[in-house]
Amino acid sequence: MVELSEDQSAAVDEILAWFHDTDDRRKSLAGFAGTGKSTIVAELLRRMQQKYIIKVCAPTGKAASVLRAKGVQATTLHKLIYAPETICTDCDRMVMPIKEDGK
């Protein structure tokens, strides 16, 4: 287990509090490269994955690769949108994207 910095620990606590105590399902985690976002995500997964099914996606293949290097099973947004069944084979229900033809 990686030791979190004080700021990372505070971020993890804030995100967990938000997740458990609000109906607002929008939350973002942003920062410059190397500031510890991937470490925070890895810690959140460590704490939550036994109770919840959590899937992680990133905007680029490089960003997904960085997450995977931290032990986070991550894929790209593109794959989440266009091939969700390959990402969430263990989910009870999935939201499927609507194709341009409406089907």
The residue with greater pLDDT, 8 or 81, is 8
pTM for this model (two decimals)? 0.71
Report the C-alpha gap between 28 and 40 in whole angstroms: 12
pLDDT tier at 84 (50, 70, 90 boundaries)?
A: low
Beta bridge partners of 57: 75
Per-residue b or e along 1-10, where b marks 16 or more CB atoms closer than 10 Å to that residue's CB: eeebeeebee
- 74 Rama sector, left if φ>0, alpha if ψ -120 to 50, beta otherwise: beta
- Is the pLDDT at 10 greater than 90? The verdict is yes
pLDDT tier at 90 (50, 70, 90 boundaries)?
A: low
pLDDT at 97: 47
In the chain, domain spans: 1-21+34-54, 55-103
**In contact, 45 and 54? CB cutoff 8 Å:** yes
- Identify the burial level of 13 via C-beta atoms within 10 angstroms of its C-beta, where 0-12 means exposed, 13-18 middle and 19 or more buried: exposed
- With pLDDT > 90 as the criterion, what percentage of the chain qualifies? 30
The residue with greater pLDDT, 84 or 65, is 65
User: Any alpha helices (H) in 32-101, and if so which ranges?
Assistant: 37-48, 61-69, 77-82, 84-87
The residue with greater pLDDT, 78 or 26, is 78
